[in-house]
Structure 1
Amino acid sequence: MDQVSKKIDLVENTEIPNLFPKNQWYVCALSKELSTEKPLARTVLNTNLVLFRHHNGQAVALEDRCCHRALALSCGTIEDGGIRCGYHGLLYNETGKCIEIPGQEKIPTKAKVKAYPIQEKNKIIWFWYGSDEHPTPNSEPPEYAIHDDARYVYDGDVYHYDAPYQLIHDNLMDLSHLGYVHLKTIGGNANVHMNAEMKVEQEGNTVKVVRHMPASEPPPTYQMAYPFKDKVDRWQEIVFKVSHITIWTGAVDANTDKLDDPQRQGFHMRGFHGITPETETTSHYFWTIATNPSDPEKAEELKATVVQQTKDTFDEDRIVINEQYQNMLKIPNQNMIDIHVDVAANRARRIIKELLQAS
């Protein structure tokens, strides 16, 4: 096995099987990506999908392969009845059944492709990655009500990483790097970040991290987006689940609100991070960022600012993570030490490792 095909466990520096936790909902698209006009090809969890909307608006996921001569259905066109292959015109409905073969009345019973269970919820398209025992969902997709909360405006995008998905988890679970990687956006004083009070809790397969940085300087993004008076009390709340991470960050003017009050005011940035493996060594990163406009008349302007600042931040992260992984391949099988900021990321890795071992 070559180094590119290996998946590296940074907790114990050992190789683990090339698997992903099953019986989970993973993000396969943002709602805005799917249309009735053009199919979308996407590989998630080593599964080749063609995604599109039926004429009634339903999100559909089929195997991206015509059963006739194997052309990707994503090379075809969407019609009222389903998706038509771009080679010989076979038409498939939303269940994957071929319902028309041009020039031929009889349709073979084997003329079909696999349809995959997906659900659309809160403007997110979720893909069920099931086991042999649970090929169909045994739970509902996660809830992310922020996308439907009138207090917030949001937008997002999809990034591709040439790196394993758990390296992205590591990055998001440890925000101490902000003071070094994101100086021009959401960073701030590196010393404050590294010494921030941090609490890590675990319940089942969920890990929560809370970090407070009282009386600190607001970073550039915060200053652009909110009329802070001077120093701020800043918070970071990170919640890890196997298929996605949510991060609520923000700040209030120093000594004006309690950072443990769930209804606290000030400037909010609520991030959704759907990290889905494409393969063992590549990943999709579906993200959105929501913010609460201090001036409703400038909501769109604020949204544009925060979204662009977030893109700039994630561009910086992607460079670091891709370079990190390439260096791991160049210098393989080297031990890595842990420091105090790694507690939450290590817990997340252990959760995934335990799920893999149990499967």
Structure 2
Amino acid sequence: MPFLSSAWYVAAFSREITVDAPLARTLLDRAIVLYREASGAVVALDDRCPHRFAPLSRGRLIDGALECPYHGLRFGAAGTCVLNPHGDGRVPAGAVVRRYPTRERYGAIWIWFGEAHEAATVPLPEFEFLDPLHNFTCDGYLLTQANYQLSADNLLDLSHFQYLHPDTLGSDMMARGTVQSASEGDTVWVHRAMRGEILQPFVGRSFGVPDGKAADRDLDVRWQPPGLLTITVSVREAGAAPEMTRVGMSAHWLTPETAATTHYFFSFGLPREMGDEGEALVRFSVEGLMKPFRDEDLPMLEAQQRAIGERDFWSLRPALLPIDAGAVRARRIMERLIADDLAYLNAAVPGAPQRVAGCVSEVSGR
């Protein structure tokens, strides 16, 4: 299965990458090694020594270079061999490891798999509610044995709360709520509204609604390629003034490990102006949601993946419902972007598509 190369993906949380030891991670079916230089800058290289193809992630960091654990060749941050301890020390011309552009923001390390010169022209998606200077944040991670687009489908249709999470996140109002979806450029929005809903205790406590009190809840999901989502939950007691609404925001970053496995990074943020309450609430949210995510969402996604196997999703002719509109929009956008990406990368003749700012357009200027 092809992946979209020219996009920013989350490779790891910032706290996972240190100057002490390299981290191995498979991303988009590629073995990658990540580590920090003494300056704090993050380096991402192919996790394969060009000599005998040993995994560099099993090596040591010595004087800012990554030493191959098999024969001791050392590679600097640029990916070039800086030391050959054998013979006269001559470094073969092919002793180079590909380096990938990275950025660090929102408590995460972002990686770019497309052409390196394009990375500087494409900004990171915005998740300002995770800026640690202004917000308390708390994060979690799960490895899902399912394709990343199944996870996106799951997050773009939160009606499943009623059936998959009946005792934690859902209520019998979910399926009866009003749903709207739209797209703007390559961004998809889904809005779901429930009125007079009796919330589960975990949800009610998160938003200051007493047990048994009816509430008005709005769920807004924003999806951006390749699999970056923001979920905004707005809650107030039924009939209360709009200014009494409490809002919680979370990021959900889906990075393919392989065609059938996904790194699921998620993070919550609340303004520091909330003080101790805000700091406690982001921890409470991650701790409280880990169980339904791990014990209910993941088994369902993995069961779906087993049912699909290696077949194309559309070849199975899914029976679509109105609640699928947002997920279908996202899948169609990804199909177009991947097709454009492949056309650009495979083009080798005059008049082939030309890329502008991370997108593809025809030479004619379309």
- What range describes the TM-score normalised by the shorter chain of this pair? 0.7 to 0.9
Does 2:139 match 1:156? Answer: yes
Deviation, 1:313, is: 2.3
1:178 equivalent in structure 2: 161
- Paired residues of 2:129 and 2:271 also in contact (CA < 8 A): no
Q: Deviations over 1:59-82 (max 9, x none)?
A: 110010112221101111223322
In the alignment, structure 2 segments of 5+ residues that lack a partner are: 342-366
Alignment size in residue pairs: 334
Does 2:231 match 1:247? Answer: yes
Structure 1 residues 324 and 23: CA distance shift in structure 2, 3 A: same
Q: Deviations over 1:241-273 (max 9, x none)?
A: 112111111312223343xxxxx5544331111
Give the match's secondary structure for 1:193.
coil
Deviation, 1:197, is: 1.4
- Paired residues of 1:129 and 1:135 also in contact (CA < 8 A): no
Q: Deviations over 1:144-196 (max 9, x none)?
A: 11111666422112222221111111100000000111123222x23x11111
2:301 equivalent in structure 1: 321
Give the match's secondary structure for 1:50.
strand
2:208 equivalent in structure 1: 227
Which shifted more, 141-150 or 169-178? Answer: 141-150
Structure 1 residues 331 and 208: CA distance shift in structure 2, 3 A: closer
Paired with 2:340 and 2:275, the residues of 1 have a C-alpha distance of: 49
Paired with 1:350 and 1:217, the residues of 2 have a C-alpha distance of: 35
1:36 equivalent in structure 2: 19
Paired with 2:52 and 2:95, the residues of 1 have a C-alpha distance of: 11
Paired with 1:27 and 1:204, the residues of 2 have a C-alpha distance of: 22
Structure 1 residues 241 and 295: CA distance shift in structure 2, 3 A: closer
Supply the AA of the counterpart residue of 2:264.
Y
Paired with 2:323 and 2:246, the residues of 1 have a C-alpha distance of: 25
Does 2:324 match 1:342? Answer: yes
1:121 equivalent in structure 2: 105
Supply the AA of the counterpart residue of 1:347.
R
Paired with 2:234 and 2:133, the residues of 1 have a C-alpha distance of: 18
Structure 1 residues 149 and 37: CA distance shift in structure 2, 3 A: closer
Supply the AA of the counterpart residue of 2:180.
K
Deviation, 1:135, is: 5.7
The TM-score, its normalising length taken from structure 2, stands at: 0.84
Deviation, 1:131, is: 5.3
- Paired residues of 2:75 and 2:81 also in contact (CA < 8 A): yes
Supply the AA of the counterpart residue of 2:327.
A
Give the match's secondary structure for 1:342.
helix
In the alignment, structure 1 segments of 5+ residues that lack a partner are: 1-17, 259-263
Q: Deviations over 1:23-81 (max 9, x none)?
A: 21111112111111121111111222101111110011001011222110111122332
Supply the AA of the counterpart residue of 1:141.
L
Q: Deviations over 1:127-147 (max 9, x none)?
A: 113159x66443122221111
Paired with 2:166 and 2:180, the residues of 1 have a C-alpha distance of: 24
Which shifted more, 76-85 or 93-102? Answer: 76-85
Q: Deviations over 1:284-322 (max 9, x none)?
A: 111112346896334444333211112112112111100
Does 2:166 match 1:195? Answer: no
Supply the AA of the counterpart residue of 1:336.
P
Give the match's secondary structure for 2:258.
coil
Supply the AA of the counterpart residue of 1:207.
V
Give the match's secondary structure for 1:194.
coil
Paired with 1:214 and 1:43, the residues of 2 have a C-alpha distance of: 43
Paired with 1:317 and 1:293, the residues of 2 have a C-alpha distance of: 30
How high is the sequence identity, in percent, across the aligned residues? 31
Aligned equivalent of 2:268, options 277, 282, 289: 289
Structure 1 residues 295 and 126: CA distance shift in structure 2, 3 A: closer
Paired with 2:121 and 2:277, the residues of 1 have a C-alpha distance of: 43
Which shifted more, 36-45 or 105-114? Answer: 105-114
Which shifted more, 326-335 or 65-74? Answer: 326-335
1:112 equivalent in structure 2: 96
Structure 1 residues 123 and 47: CA distance shift in structure 2, 3 A: same
Give the match's secondary structure for 2:183.
strand
Structure 1 residues 159 and 347: CA distance shift in structure 2, 3 A: same
Give the match's secondary structure for 1:23.
coil
Paired with 2:115 and 2:337, the residues of 1 have a C-alpha distance of: 12
Does 2:197 match 1:213? Answer: no
Structure 1 residues 150 and 68: CA distance shift in structure 2, 3 A: closer
Deviation, 1:106, is: 3.0
- Paired residues of 1:23 and 1:137 also in contact (CA < 8 A): no
Q: Deviations over 1:332-357 (max 9, x none)?
A: 95432111211111111111112233
Question: Any residues of structure 2 matched to 1:80-159 within 5 Å, and which?
Answer: 80-103=63-86, 104-130=88-114, 136-148=119-131, 152-159=135-142
> Superposition RMSD on alpha carbons, in Å?
2.4
Question: Any residues of structure 2 matched to 1:2-81 within 5 Å, and which?
Answer: 18-81=1-64
1:166 equivalent in structure 2: 149
Deviation, 1:223, is: 2.8
Paired with 2:26 and 2:282, the residues of 1 have a C-alpha distance of: 30
- Paired residues of 1:130 and 1:137 also in contact (CA < 8 A): no
Paired with 1:114 and 1:38, the residues of 2 have a C-alpha distance of: 19
